[in-house]
């Protein structure tokens, strides 16, 4: 008696929803050595099965002082970069990638990176991405 087997390969693609963003703000970061004007923009929010990714970029618009470049240190352990939702819940990032790990900037250069947060609470659709060090926020919407 012959026996037949059917092999079925199953893969599960993670479910996600990507929400394009157009929020940008400008801030000035000043030290004794330089004064940098920076554009900070959100490009998308992607809600996956395990995390929420916020993709942002930084552009060095102007640099005053004797330096020809500046360095952004990592935001990996920075508790001053976080989300809040319309209900007042705070979301701290769990990890970062790209330029959020640190980058070198010259005038006109743009670097992108991502912040990863826990999934939004049920019903949360509007968020603010806070950068307390520079005193700015980006509004985000799902």
- The pLDDT tens digits of the residues spanning 27-79 come to 999 999 999 999 999 999 999 999 999 999 999 999 999 999 999 999 999 99
Beta bridge partners of 11: none
CATH for the stretch 16-141 = 2.60.40
**According to the model, what pLDDT value does residue 10 have?**
47
> Rounded mean pLDDT of the chain?
92
Residue spans per domain, the chain = 16-141
| pTM given for the model | 0.88
């Amino acid at each position: 008696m012959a026996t037949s087997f059917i092999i079925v390969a199953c893969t599960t693609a993670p479910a996600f929803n990507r929400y394009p963003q157009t929020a940008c703000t400008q801030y000035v970061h000043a030290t004794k050595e330089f004064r940098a004007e920076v554009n900070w923009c959100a490009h998308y929010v992607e809600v996956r099965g395990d995390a929420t990714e916020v993709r942002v970029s930084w552009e060095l618009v102007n640099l005053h002082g004797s330096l020809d470049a500046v360095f952004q240190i990592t935001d990996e352990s920075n508790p001053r970069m976080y989300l809040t939702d319309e209900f007042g819940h705070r979301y701290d990032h769990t990890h970062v990638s790209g330029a959020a790990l640190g980058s070198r900037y010259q005038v006109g250069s743009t670097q992108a990176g991502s912040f990863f947060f826990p999934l939004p609470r049920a019903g949360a659709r509007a968020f603010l991405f806070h950068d307390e060090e520079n005193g700015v926020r980006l509004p985000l919407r799902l």
